[in-house]
């Protein structure tokens, strides 16, 4: 189960005709309470889609009763008409559920620039269909997770059962996975009794070490949203450490699934930086490698080209001596103290799981950033995305 694993939640996923290829494309998640605490983290992209602009305002008070999500159009750069579409969507959900429009979070995914009359009509039709289909249980949660897929090859769901309470979640995303304190669309639910300020701290602590360290292609979405809703239906009030640990575990599971479904990837790469002067330095160094097209192309070609690693990390302002660095590819130390070490032929890059370890010998901090290789399939899929 995913968003329906926690008590107090119902969900639905329906087909409203937004996808040219057919299939489910509108999802609805409802918090039946008794609490309506909520927190969210949104893309830091200055170019924000209309649903993000709406949802940022609506959740300012720390509450939410429902989340409506659609595939088939991002409703971004669609002008005043697009924002009105988002507003009308929230109003329709509110009307069907007997709540206020401000209690509704709106999320969209798909092609930028899509948001005409036909799109609006499809989304509103989807609201009605989803409201009629709302249900608890596994099937409803799976239907919602399937409805928000775009280029995803499979739905992403995760659940953690903690001490008397549950955290569940669903996510979509297979490209444009770059840090903006969120990654594509994620809805998390819990039946714990948690107030909004604590939910917000737990969510930000979780996203910082999970979604924010997933850097598939260095491209940041306009629609990235991570939502966390608490129903309080379990009657359990966990402390901050417990709720943060559970939310982080679900976010980490979902981030791994997003990582493994990156568009066209043939290698799932974990770049671990050890012995950095600070955690921030470790993240900066790992991300510099994750965003190197030369490095990513080398991995696609099964080439353990450690020179591209050193070239990438040398562009950062992190504190380390580039001539004292060790680099390991899948357990083989190919570079020691900035010089060649083991022969490249000893490295096996044929498995999909790929480990890069960079030892800076500059301190005690560590961090891992997840990325993937740059493939022909990725280029093809994104060149034909709008066709």
Which segments of 281-331 are extended strands (E)? 326-329
Specify the pTM: 0.92
Catalytic residue among 85, 183, 207, 375: 183
Task: State residue 387's pLDDT score.
Answer: 47
Instruction: Return the pLDDT at 380.
Output: 61
Question: According to CATH, what is the number of the domain 268-383?
Answer: 3.10.20.340
Average pLDDT by consecutive 10-residue portion of the chain (387 residues)?
Answer: 95 95 94 98 92 97 98 94 97 98 96 91 98 97 95 92 97 72 84 98 96 82 93 98 98 91 84 98 97 93 96 98 98 97 96 97 97 77 56
- Determine whether 183 is an active site residue: yes
Burial of 117 per CB tally in 10 Å (0-12, 13-18, 19+)? exposed
- What is the per-residue DSSP string for 185-240? EEEEEE-S---HHHHHHHHHHHHHHTGGGB-SSS---SS-EEEEEE--TT-----H
Q: CA-CA distance, 163 to 204, in Å (whole number)?
A: 21
The reported pLDDT for the residue numbered 120 is 96
Residues with Cβ within 8 Å of residue 194, at least 6 apart in sequence = 35, 37, 202, 230, 232, 237, 238, 243
CATH fold of 9-260 reads 3.60.70
CA-to-CA dists, residue 259 to 83, 191, 202, 265, angstroms: 31, 27, 22, 9
Enter the tokens of residue 136: 């608890």
Q: Where are the domains of the chain?
A: 9-260, 268-383
């Amino acid at each position: 189960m995913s968003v329906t694993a926690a008590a107090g939640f119902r969900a639905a996923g329906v087909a409203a005709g937004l996808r040219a290829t057919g299939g489910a494309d509108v999802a609805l998640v409802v918090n039946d309470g008794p609490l309506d605490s909520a927190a969210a983290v949104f893309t830091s992209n200055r170019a924000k889609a209309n649903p993000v602009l709406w949802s940022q305002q609506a959740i300012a008070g720390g509450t939410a009763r429902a989340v409506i999500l659609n595939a088939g159009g991002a409703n971004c750069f669609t002008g005043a008409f697009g924002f009105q579409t988002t507003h009308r969507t929230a109003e329709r959900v509110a009307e069907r559920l007997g709540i206020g429009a401000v209690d509704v979070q709106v999320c969209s995914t798909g092609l930028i620039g899509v948001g005409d009359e036909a799109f609006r009509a499809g989304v509103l039709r989807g609201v009605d269909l989803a409201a009629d289909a709302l249900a608890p249980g596994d099937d409803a949660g799976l239907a919602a997770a399937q409805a928000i897929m775009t280029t995803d090859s499979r739905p992403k769901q995760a659940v953690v059962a903690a001490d008397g309470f549950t955290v569940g979640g669903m996510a979509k995303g297979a490209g444009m996975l770059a840090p903006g304190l969120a990654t594509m669309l994620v809805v998390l639910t819990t039946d714990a009794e948690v107030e909004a300020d604590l939910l917000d701290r737990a969510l930000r602590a979780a996203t910082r070490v999970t979604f924010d360290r997933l850097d598939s292609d260095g491209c940041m979405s306009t629609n990235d949203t991570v939502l966390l809703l608490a129903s309080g239906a379990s009657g359990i009030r966990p402390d901050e450490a417990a709720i943060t640990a559970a939310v982080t575990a679900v976010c980490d599971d979902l981030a791994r699934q997003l990582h493994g479904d990156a568009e066209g990837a043939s290698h799932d790469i974990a770049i671990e930086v050890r012995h950095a002067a600070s955690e921030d330095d470790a993240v900066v160094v790992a991300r510099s490698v994750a965003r190197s097209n030369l490095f990513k192309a080398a991995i696609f070609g099964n080439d353990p080209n450690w020179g591209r690693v050193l070239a990438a990390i040398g562009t950062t302002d992190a504190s380390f001596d580039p001539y004292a660095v060790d680099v390991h590819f899948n357990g083989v130390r190919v570079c020691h103290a900035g010089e060649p070490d083991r022969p490249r032929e000893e490295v096996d890059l044929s498995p999909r799981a790929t480990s890069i370890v960079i030892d800076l010998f500059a301190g005690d901090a560590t961090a891992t950033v997840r990325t993937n290789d740059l493939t022909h399939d990725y280029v093809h899929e994104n060149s034909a995305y709008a066709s």
